[in-house]
Each structure stands twice: as C-alpha cells, then as structure tokens.
Amino acid sequence: MTITHVAERPSSDDAFSRHACVLELVVGAALIPARDGLTPVLELVATAAREDSLTPETAFDLGQQLRLVTGDEPTDDDLEGHLLLRALLSELIEYASLVEGVHVDDLEPLVDHLIAVGDLAEARRTTHLAEIARARVRALEAPVAADLGAA
C-alpha cells in the first residue's frame, strides 16, 4: 500500500491540524495486513483529509465503506489492525456528527436560543439537520452484521 505520503503538511496549516488525527490513522492503517477493499477506502479518506473536503456527508459515506471493510470482529487474529480501523471509523463518526461545524450534541442550546428569539424557522431547520446527523451516527455505529442480514 502506498499511502505513507499522506502526512505531508498541506498548504493550509488549519486543514492539517484539523485532519492530523485522521491522516495519522490512515498512515497506520496502511501498514496493517491487506483486507479486501481497504486500500481504496484509505486513499479516499486521505484525499478528503488532505484536500480539506471531509464534510459530514463525505465522512458518512467513507465511514460506511470502512465499516464494511473492518467488520464487527477482528480478522485473522489481527486485533491491533481491527482496533486501528475502528479508531479511524470513530474519527469519521465525529465528522459525520457535525451540523454546520457544531457537534450535534451541542446544538440544543442554539435551538433553545432560536426559539427564545422567535426564529422558529431556523430552529426547525437546525433540529432537522441535527436529526439527519444523528441518523448518520446511528448508521455508522450499527453492527455490520445488521446490514448484511438486511440484504
């Protein structure tokens, strides 16, 4: 796997610091034993992080792919690799839980304020976006076996 170059500092220091953990996990994951479909997912995650395009929607899509590659249990007694991939998935879940840059769990005070000032339309919009973010997080945290059983 040739992903070791992803930790190079991009042109924006902010983008690098914001995505440094993701990039470090990708570099570590590139060193674990090969799994079907892992390399393309890692390359996509690295590209999104390097280009500062890791949006909640992108994180969700990449997280779904990573979930399927990682599975619910370690493969071939590779607990360390499994835990590393789960850590990367956790980082993607954090990105997927953002609503306009704010973590979904921190939106309640904002919604309360919007209601207090009478901006009910914005409160409804924010609540709707929070529901979407929570659904993304639930989907990424669900066991892979549930997806495979439903298919």
Is residue 20's pLDDT more than 50?
Answer: yes
The mean pLDDT of the chain is 84
Range from 5-19, 71-85, 119-133 carrying the lowest mean pLDDT: 5-19
* Residue pLDDT, tens place only, 47-76: 999 998 999 999 999 999 999 998 888 877
Is residue 147's pLDDT more than 60?
Answer: no
Q: Which residue has the tokens 């924010």?
A: 126
Q: What's the pLDDT at 7?
A: 41
Which pTM was predicted?
Answer: 0.80
Q: Taking the domains of the chain in order of start, what are their residue ranges?
A: 4-150
Sorting pLDDT into bands at 50, 70 and 90, what band is 126?
very high
The pair of three-digit structure tokens given for residue 124, joined into one six-digit string: 């409804």
105 near 97, Cβ under 8 Å? yes
